[in-house]
Structures are given as C-alpha cells and as structure tokens.
Structure 1
Amino acid sequence: MNSSNDVPVKKVEAISERNAYLKSKELEELKALEKVRRYLLQKGYSPKTIKTYINHIKRYVLYSTDVFSIDTANGYIVELLEEKKCSHAYCNQAINAIKLYIKINSNVREDQFLKLLRPKKERKLPKVMSQQEVKRLFDVTTNIKHKTALMLAYSCGLRISEVISMTLNDIDTDRMLVVIRQGKGRKDRISTLSAKMHKQLVDYYQVYRPKHFIFENTNRDRGLSERTLQKVFHASAEKADIHKYVTFHSLRHSFATHLLDSGVDIRYIQELLGHSSTKTTEIYTHVSTASLQKIINPLDRLD
C-alpha cells in the first residue's frame, strides 16, 4: 500500500516531467523558427519580411497542436477568416509562412501542399487623396520635420520604410534626383526632386542639421520609426478634415494617381514606383479620374 507521503512526491515528479517536456518542446520550436529565419536570410529577404513571416509562424504554433499537419493549417486559415475577420491578403501571407515552416521542418511531401487552400485574392482599390486634400494635409502640419517627411513621401512616391531610411547622400541636388536604395524587393530606383521639395529640404536642414539620416530620431542614431510617422499622418489627416480612411501609404497612391491624371505614361510611373511589371501599376487606372471626367453622365443628358 502506498504511503500518503508518496502522493506529493509523485505530483512533484509529474510537474517536473511536464516542465521538462514543455522546455524541450519550446527548444524544438525555437530551432524550427531559426531554420526558417536562416533560410529567408540566405534568400535575401528583408529584415521586415523575415519578422513578418516569423510572427505568422509563432501565431500558428500557438494555435496548433500538430504544427506539421496540412489539415491543421487549413483549420487555422478558416479561423483567421471567420473569427478574426482577417483579409485574404493577410491569410495568403500566413499560408506562405506556414508552408515554408512545414516544408523546412518536416517530411511532408511537396504534393501535399496542394491541399493548402488559399482564399481568392481580393481586388481592393488604392486609398487615394485628392490634390486639395494633400495640400490641406501639408498646410496643417506645423512641425517642419514632419511636414518635410510627408512632402517627400508624396513628391517621390515613397513607402514609409523608404522615408525613414533616406540619408543625406540619397539627395542628388546636382541632377535634381532622389535615390531610393534597396526598396521593396531589394531594388534601387530613382525619382525626381522637385524644385519645391528641394527648397523644403534646404529649409528643414537649416533647422535640424541632420548628420546621416534625413529624418533622425531623438537620439540621432537612426531614422524616425514607422509608428511615429503613422501617428503624424493620422493627426494631420484629422486636422485637415480628411474624413475617408487613409494611411501614410496613401501619399504614395496619391502620387501615382495624380501623375496618371496629368497624362504621365504608365511606364514612367512604373519606374518611379519601382514596380516590376506595369500590371501592378495598372491598379491606378481604376482610381484615376482624368478619363472619367470626360464622360457625360446619361442623367445629365436628360432634358
């Protein structure tokens, strides 16, 4: 017959075994994540993309008890769609991350990945501001650093990550060009430096005297954070009475759309934006109003 003293001992042993199992499982997951990180690094993915993939995988691992199951992966995507109301683009990105995770860390056959069901790609129009709204946005932004950052994003069609990583050496005043180094897809490109933008940069430089990054953080050791610029944009959009939903990226969308409205060839816009194909740039033809304004609405033809 077991002594009552044996019960606490057995409980301690069980807890100890459980903790050892959990620690072993955690180490296994960390090793699996590290394999993915090293793979993406060797493939030349940007730190931001690697972080996105890793975060997708971490969320999936928390959901899953069998991380290398195609059925489990499909169940996770259904949860993202039905319960969390995630966009199709978000779910497809999660699938890419999960597929890579399973592929690198398991013996699942390649043909099994055909059973990973992808939601149909959504077609969403870019969120574009009118030229009047862009002007109001700039007018209400009183901080010269913030205003210059917003103006540069619009003037050159920059992504927020490109704005914060822009350095003094990227501004070529002799040729009136802006060099965007290692943008999305690890590609360099150039954009035009407008006379108005040049003057704004000169005025800004006289005030802040940046040393390396054009828009330095408080410690002057790196560029402003994306979060800071997003907050600046939303605060200015509210002050400018822009009631539709727009984001910092809307400055890039507006740049492309306004160029198209003014008659600039789509191939030039493609180069300025750094798109690999005009098919990506063609989305702006659906929000350009230049051609639509020439159409006489049938209602207006009625007497």
Structure 2
Amino acid sequence: MNTPAMGGGADSEDPREARERWANIWFGGMVRYHNVKDPDRWVFAVDDVVAFLRAKLQAGMPAWKRLLIVDGLIEYERLHPRSSLGGLEPIRSKLQELAHREGTGEDPLTIDEIVGPISPRDPDAVQALRRQCRLEGKAMKTEKAYVGKLRGFMAARGLERSADFAEVGERDIEHYLTDLVVEGDVAPSTQNQAFYALRFFFEHVLKRDMGPINATRSTKHPNIPSVMSEEEVREVLSRLAGVHRLIAQLLYGSGMRISEALRLRMKDVDFDLMQIQVHHSKGNKSRFVPLPQSVADELRKQMQWREHLHEQDVIMGQASVWLPYALDKKYPEAHRELKWQFVFASQRLSKDPRSHRFHRHHIHADTFAKQLRRAVRGAEVHKHVTSHTFRHSFATHLLKGGTDIRTIQELLGHADLKTTMIYTHVLNRDDVKVVSPLDRMSASGSKGTDQSKGQGRQEEPTAPSNQNGFAESELASTGVAGSAASGEGDPVEGGRVAGASVTGGQVRVETDDGGREHPVAEAGAAANGMAGRSSVSVALGRAGNRVKKRRRSSWSRWRLRSGLIRFGRVFAKLKS
C-alpha cells in the first residue's frame, strides 16, 4: 500500500525540506503530548513514541498516518543525533503491515498486540530492551537473562534511564566486565552472557556501536560432554515411568533438547513418515528428527490422552495454548485447535507472563529433571547425567555406529560442524587401540616373574617342570628325557642346571666369558642316528627360546630402571 507523501505540501517544496518540516511537526506534537518544558534538551526514547502512537490510535488515527509519525521521528533522530532513540525500525515495519491490513479490510493489530504488555514500572531502558527482544522473537529465557544483565550494569554504573547511557562508553563496559571476573569471580558463561546482553542493547536498542571491548575476559575451556553407555541408558530408562519415560526415550532416540521435546505440538508428529518436526529451536531454527519406532505406540497413547483432555477444555471453555508472535491474532481460533496443543501438556492452567492470559502450557522442565535424578541414583550411574546427556549419548552412539558426521550435524541442528566434532573426542574407536604404558610394563613384568618363579613351584600336577624350566611332557614329546627327573645334570656356573638327557647326551646351558647363556648339547647326543639329531635340535631350539625370553625380560627391566634414574636426575636439576 502506498502511503501519501509526508505532509502533502506544495508541489514546489523540496522533498528533503518537506521531510524536515514534518519531522519537526511530529516532534512538536509529541512534546505537547508529554508536556515537555524544555524540548531543545529533551532526549526522548522509544517508550515516549509508543505512548504517543497509542494516544493517536485511541483518537482514531489510521495506521498509515501513524506510519508517517514514525517516519518523521526517524528523520528527526537523524537530524538531531543527541537523542537516544532506537528500535523504531521494527515498529515502522509493523505499522506498514497494519496499513496494508487496513487497506485490505483485515483487523489491525495494536501496539500492545505487537509487542505484548510491558510493565510501566520498569525503567525505560528495560522496557525498550523487552520490546526489542519480543520484536525479534527472542525466547522468554533470553529476554529474562538480558534484562537481568542490563539491570546489573545499570546498578553498577548508577544509571536510571535511557538518557543516562549517552555518557556511557567503552571504558565503562570494560570495567564492568572486568569487575565481574576479578571481584565477582563469575563463571565464564556468566560474563559472556553479560557481554552479549550489553552488545544487543547498544546495537539494537540504542543503535550505537559498542566498540572494541578489551576487558579481562574469562576463557571458557572446552568441556568434554558426559556420555552414558548403552547399558547405562537402558538402566536409567527402566527406572523412569509414564510420561517421563516417554520423554527420555524421545531425547535419546531423536537427539532433541529437553525444551524441544516439551514444546512438541500435536501437528509436529508424523507417524506416516516416522519423523518429528522441531520448530523454533535454538537460534529460531527448524529441522526434522527421526521418530523411534519403539516409542510410536506409547506416543500415540499420549496424544490420545491429550486429545481427550482438550475436549474437556473445550467443554469448560478454557481451551487455549500459547502461540508464537501474533499467530493468535492472525488466526483467532488457532489457540483452541487441537493441532496447536502441546503433546506433553500440564495438568493445570498457567498464566502467560507476557500476555497475562491463561493457557494450558507444557509440563515444566524441572519436573522431568527431578524424576531423572531419582532414576540415575537408582541405576547407580555415577556420572553427571542431565536431560542433555541423552542428546550427547545419541550423537556419540550414532557416530560409533558409523553414521556420517554431517548427518549427525543436521539431526542435532548445529550451525557449525566444529560443535558436532566434539563428539569424536569422547568416542572409543574400534580401529584405534591405545594400550597404557603401565599395562605394557605390568604385562612384561608378570611374564618375567612367572619365568623366574617357575623353578620354585611346588605343585605342578599336570606337567611338572624339570630344572631347565621345560615341562616333562614337552621333552617327552620330542623324545628328550630330562635327567633332572632323576636328579642328574651338571650345575652351570652363573645359572641353574639346564641339562636333559638325550639318549646318551645332555642339553645344557653354558655361560660364556661375557656372562651370556647358551644352550649346548653334549657329545654322544647324535650317536643314535637321525632320530637323536632331531630330538637334540628340538631341545636346543626350545632351550634357546627360553634363554632369549629371559634376556629380553632382564633387558626391559634394566631399561626401565635406567630411564627412571635419568628422569629423576633431570627432575632434580629442574627443581633446583
């Protein structure tokens, strides 16, 4: 819809001069409405404009003319930068929509219907922040968090209204954020939230650039998410019941956040395609997630119960649900329709803090958290488990099962792949096996200990060892009869007796001048032909393997000892 030119002055008047003239006219009208004594020094805010527009609406002024008022005040703000006016562009867009709706015969929306009622007892800066958050569709939690951080900043710097921010600069913000860390000892997330709240207020409300902030910032260290195993998930789920068990199954089976699961509406569940539509998620995004086949029947029963409850609400005349933005105005009967109702509805009606209307909202997240804590204690899972742990477990188990990382990113709704990549750090990959050095040392030490203690064993009922450390059954299978069984065999200097009679000869261990041990066969061992030579060869081979193992064990212990000594010396030097 084309609105008339501002003011509709003479044809010969320059358009720029016409805009300036009507800007002063509308500013003068607002000055008279607020009864300002000194208009040249008056710094007006968005609330002053909204009050002026509301008065014009009550007087019957159409939307296209109120749009001219906003255009004139925006021009006045450009001509007089001293004002702290901000946030009129979204109102201008809404008024353009209202003017179009009026031209097509549709019911117009009021200013209060656009942003919702705001307490007049709040400071004008807080009111402007609330209004801007609602115009941009910020979540209720985000609005509360931003308002709380702005109140804290105003209290710390002694600010009372929007006009006081004219003297606030980069140094004030830097000092405040630094004080949060140095004096307040806040968590990194708390300081980051204060930073983003102030940046949003300056850029979107005051229309000012906050500038570079060089405050002492807390660095948030990356935390590896807590993940439950499949058995732990099964144990926790078995200790939940009713609707809480169904919610937990959806969290683990689809990877939704707890807020997304609780805000599911009847229209979001598609049993034909076995998928769930997630709307108004984090970052105001939407996506599809899988609907687990194992919970389809339980979810149908829950939706049937919800339909029955809705029928009772319709009979009682209290069927209503909260709708985002102005959908309840655009579709007047939508809040009473079944498809818009929450699947996991509360048993009681609640009051909307923004519109002050009573709706049947979804169950509170704290209710599920309480039941989950009980289940975790009952399952004896000694991990930090929250509702978000099911989402971490969903992603980790999918990745372990071979699902592509890009697919997991889409299912989780992550804007950046780096956020999804954190799950690769908690994944135990089957193709990569890391053996602890302590386990290697323990395994090597246990082998050496078993070999050195083999002689001292008293009872070997199955295969007793002779003096050489060989089982008699092993020697017998090669035709080598150990003389140690009858107490024979010559002692070897520097080592134990390692001989075994081999048809007229012995296999023994001799020590050379360098202290090394070697298995040898005595003369006469080959006197019995090929069979004797074969038996001697087998015995020599086995004896040689045993000596090599003993050498490797001693060498490993010596290297470990030497390494520890060198490490101790280096550590002593560094410490001194």
TM normalised by structure 1 equals 0.80
Structure 1 counterpart SS, 2:286: strand
Q: From 205, 216, 222, give the equivalent of 1:123.
A: 222
Structure with higher helix content: 1
- Mapped to 1, the partners of 2:260 and 2:222 lie a distance apart of 25
**Distance 1:200-1:294 versus aligned 2 partners, 3 A rule:** farther
Which residue of 1 is the match for residue 344 of structure 2? 215
Written as runs of structure 1 = structure 2, the 5 A alignment for 1:188-267 is 188-205=286-303, 211=310, 212-219=341-348, 221-267=360-406
Q: Does the 8 A contact of 2:202 with 2:209 survive in 1?
A: no
**1:108 & 1:214 partners in 2: Cα distance?**
43
- Secondary structure (helix, strand or coil) at the match of 1:249 reads helix
SS of alignment partner, residue 191 of structure 1:
strand
| Structure 1 partner of 2:524 | none
User: How many angstroms does 1:60 deviate by?
Assistant: 2.7
Matched, 1:140 2:269: no
CA distance in 1 between counterparts of 2:347 and 2:431 reads 46
Partner residue of 1:37 out of 130, 141, 160: 130
Contact 1:33 1:101 in 2 (8 A): no
Q: 1:135 to 1:82 in 2, by over 3 A?
A: farther
The 5 Å alignment of 1:159-198 reads: 159-198=257-296
The change in CA–CA distance for 1:75 and 1:62 in structure 2 (over 3 A counts) is same
Rounded to whole Å, the distance in 1 between the matches of 2:195 and 2:133 is 15
**Is the contact made by 1:157 and 1:252 (CA closer than 8 Å) also made in structure 2?**
yes
Residues 1:229 and 1:79: Cα distance change in structure 2 (over 3 Å): farther
Higher relative contact order, structure no. (Cα contacts within 8 Å, ≥ 6 residues apart): 1
Shift of 1:154: 1.4
Q: Secondary structure at the match of 2:213?
A: helix
CA distance in 2, matches of 1:128, 1:210: 37
Tell me which residue corresponds to 1:295: 434
Structure 2 Cα separation of the partners of residues 46 and 102 of structure 1: 19
The structure whose Rg is larger is 2
Q: Which residue of 2 aligns with 1:275?
A: 414
Amino acid aligned to 2:346: N
Shift of 1:232: 2.2
Contact 2:175 2:215 in 1 (8 A): no
Task: List per-residue Cα deviations over 1:204-263 (Å, max 9, x = no partner).
Answer: 456665643221111261111122222222222222222222221111111111111211
Distance 1:45 1:116, change over 3 A: farther
Q: Is the 8 A contact 1:262 1:290 kept in 2?
A: no
**Which whole-Å CA distance do the structure 2 matches of 1:94 and 1:233 have between them?**
31
8 Å contact from structure 1 (residues 89, 122) kept in 2 = no
- Partner of 1:228, secondary structure, is helix
Further displaced range: 156-165 or 101-110: 101-110
Say which SS state the counterpart of residue 123 (structure 1) adopts: coil
Deviates more, 1:198-207 or 1:281-290: 198-207
SS at match of 1:114: coil
CA contact (8 A) 2:177 2:215 kept: no
Q: Residue in 2 aligned with 1:76?
A: 176
Checking the alignment, whether the CA contact within 8 Å between 2:126 and 2:147 is kept in structure 1 is yes
Show the counterpart of 2:197: 97
Q: Distance in 2 between matches of 1:70 and 1:28?
A: 29
3-state SS in 2 of match to 1:183: coil
Does structure 2 retain, via aligned residues, the 8 Å contact 1:210–1:216?
Answer: no
Report the Cα distance in structure 1 between the residues aligned to 2:269 and 2:440, rounded to whole angstroms. Answer: 51
Alpha-carbon RMSD across the aligned residues, in angstroms, is: 2.8
CA contact (8 A) 1:157 1:255 kept: yes
Deviation at 1:51, TM superposition (A): 2.1
Q: Is the 8 A contact 1:170 1:180 kept in 2?
A: yes
CA contact (8 A) 2:187 2:218 kept: no
- Give me the whole-angstrom Cα distance separating, in 2, the residues matched to 1:243 and 1:141: 17
Which residue is equivalent to 1:4?
none
Whether the 8 Å contact between 2:170 and 2:210 is mirrored in structure 1 is no
Q: CA deviation at 1:152?
A: 0.9
Aligned partners of 1:186, 1:226: CA distance in 2, in Å?
A: 19
Cα separation, 1, equivalents of 2:285 and 2:208: 34
Shift of 1:293: 6.2
AA of the residue aligned to 1:138: L
> In the alignment, is the contact (CA less than 8 A) between 2:149 and 2:198 conserved in 1?
yes
Contact 1:157 1:251 in 2 (8 A): yes
Cα distance in 2 for partners of 1:58, 1:100 equals: 14
How far apart, CA to CA, are the structure 1 residues paired with 2:207 and 2:278? 41
1:291, 1:78 → 2: CA distance?
Answer: 46
Aligned counterpart, 1:7: none
Find the aligned partners of 2:290 and 2:366 in 1 and give their Cα distance. 26
Equivalent residue letter for 1:217:
S
TM-score (norm 2): 0.44
Q: Provide Cα deviations, 1:108-140, integer angstroms capped at 9, x if missing partner.
A: 7643x4334432232111122222221111111
1:207–1:237 CA distance, 2 compared to 1 (3 A): farther
Counterpart residue type for residue 230 of structure 2: Q
Q: Distance in 1 between matches of 2:207 and 2:250?
A: 49
Q: Does the 8 Å contact 2:178/2:217 carry over to 1?
A: no
How far off is 1:72 after superposition? 4.1
